[in-house]
Amino acid sequence: MRIAFISFEFPPDTGKGGIGTYVKQIAAALSVLSWDVHVFAGSYSLGFSQKKEGYSIHTIQCSDPHDFAYKVVNEFDNYHTIEKFDLIESAEIHGNAWMIKKKSPELPLVVRLHAPNYLVEKLKNRYLPFFAKLRFVLGSIRRLKFDMGYWRTYHKNDDADYNFIKLANYITTPSIPMKQWVVKHWNISPDKIKVIPNIFSPSNLLLNIPILKNCQYKRVVFFGRLNVLKGLVNGTKAIKKILKEYPDWQFRVIGDDGKGPAAGISMRNFMKEKLHKVINRVEFLDGMAYDALPEAIADSEIVLLPSLFESFSYTCAEAMAAGKAVVGSQNGGMADLIQNDESGLLTDPENSQAIYKGVKKLIDDNEYRFQLSVNARRRILTAFDASKTANYFNSYYQGIIR
């Protein structure tokens, strides 16, 4: 059985996010199950081919996902000619396998839903001020290219991600909320979409972090990309109240900086500005290699992840595997990972007061926090066992081939 994953995103060069992590983990898992797995990925440096962790990786030098979609065709054809692939898989965002499917329409295409570009960009601009939006429209008029910008009506037929998914023979998604969004906004039959969680195989470095009964460190941690999508606007407001109310607690922020809620200001600078009165108890660290993360979150009791939407959330899964009490988001895939009030807390990411109450509850009730931490690790190791998930994918793909 021979499968190709077509993904511009792949670590370490182009894959710091969830798509690259997913492709890396599923490629390794399927190779253990005797699949002939090939990953065709983007790279900003020279392209190469090599065998790694049981699967073949072919990188294509390119400038962006659209450039990759064209350049990957020839490299894919070279291997498809030698021995035919049984199926290919690609994320919906940017349609990485668009040209391959157009050239080889008989080849079954599985589209894996991660989060459409329209949804991501809409949420990133969630708090953009009215006058910034107005300036965009006025600027388009001056350029004689009238554009309503952030107020334009969404038409799915103009959406490249939607047009790519129409080419799919099969569709999978890592969570029920992601499926519900696509059914509602793209009017795709729910029967065509299979929900299979992302494979998550936690490292021993995460699993070996001790779960302490007492709040020894008195630290809340956020880790992930610093942008509006990650819920840091309301998350920052909530943490400001927490740090004022609990002067012996600290906040650590881990992640590469990104766009803030207003034009001209990064998210990190936005957070520093809002937290300036308690900044002596706030620590900012840049994004780090996966193996360095366990040490950076080990000396904490609470992980705050108030994302506006996640299709799955590897950060949440990592925090749970580390035995941390998570204050997560009720919007998106975290609601599949976390059993609210049992293996974590789910809050409204649009409500800073709700986030504040969630963190406060964990600080005030240490026994409750400890039990959530224990349950979180147990849930990841049982309900989301990597070998079980790999077998779900294996059965599903074999069914397609049959």
Tell me whether residue 135 is in a domain.
no
Domain count, the chain: 2
Within this chain, do residues 224 and 332 fall inside the same structural domain, yes or no? Answer: yes
178: in domain: yes
pTM: 0.89
At 3-39, the pLDDT tens digits run: 999 999 998 888 778 899 999 999 999 999 999 999 9
Q: Are residues 354 and 391 in the same domain?
A: no
- Residue 259 DSSP one-character state: B
Map residue 384 onto helix, strand or coil: coil
Q: What's the mean per-residue pLDDT of the chain?
A: 91
Instruction: Tell me the average pLDDT across 289-297.
Output: 91
Would you say residue 251 lies in a domain?
Answer: yes
For position 40, what pLDDT does the model report?
Answer: 97
The encoded tokens of residue 76 equal 């894919």
Reduced to 3 states, what is the DSSP secondary structure of residue 283?
A: strand
The residue that leads in pLDDT, 263 or 298, is: 298
Query: Could you tell me if 192 and 323 lie in one domain?
Result: no
Kindly list the distances between the CA atom of residue 216 and the CA atoms of 26, 231, 279, 280, in Å, as whole numbers in the listed order: 37, 27, 21, 19
Q: What does the block give as tokens for 284?
A: 């900012």
User: What's the pLDDT band for 140 if we cut at 50, 70, 90?
Assistant: low
Query: Per-residue confidence at 141, pLDDT binned at 50, 70, 90?
Result: low
Place of tokens 């792949």: 10
Residue-level pLDDT at 147: 47
Type of residue found at 363: I
Same domain, 300 and 314: yes
Q: Collapsing DSSP states into helix, strand and coil, what is residue 110?
A: strand
The answer to whether residues 75 and 42 touch, using CB atoms and an 8 Å cutoff, is no
Q: What is the DSSP annotation of 193-250?
A: EEE-PPP----HHHHTS---SS-SS-EEEEES--SGGGTHHHHHHHHHHHHHH-TT-E
- Give the range of the structural domain holding residue 308, as residue numbers without chain letter: 204-382
At 310, the pLDDT band (50, 70, 90 cuts) reads: very high
What average pLDDT does range 299-312 have in this prediction?
96
pLDDT digits (tens, 9 = 90+) for 217-250: 999 999 999 999 999 999 999 999 999 999 999 9
- DSSP states of 144-177 as a string? T----GGGSPP-GGG-HHHHHHTT-SEEEESSHH
**Which residue(s) pair with 51 in the sheet?**
56
CATH number at residue 356: 3.40.50.2000
Q: Which residue has the tokens 């299709």?
A: 311
Beta-carbon contacts of 48 under 8 Å, excluding residues fewer than 6 positions away, are: 58, 59
Rounded mean pLDDT of 29-50? 93
Is residue 41 in a domain?
yes
Phi, psi for 7 (deg, rounded to 5): -145, 115
**320/263 same-domain check:** yes
Considering the domain architecture, whether residues 191 and 326 belong to the same structural domain is answered as no
The verdict on 190 and 218 lying in the same domain is no
- 287 shares its domain with 303: yes
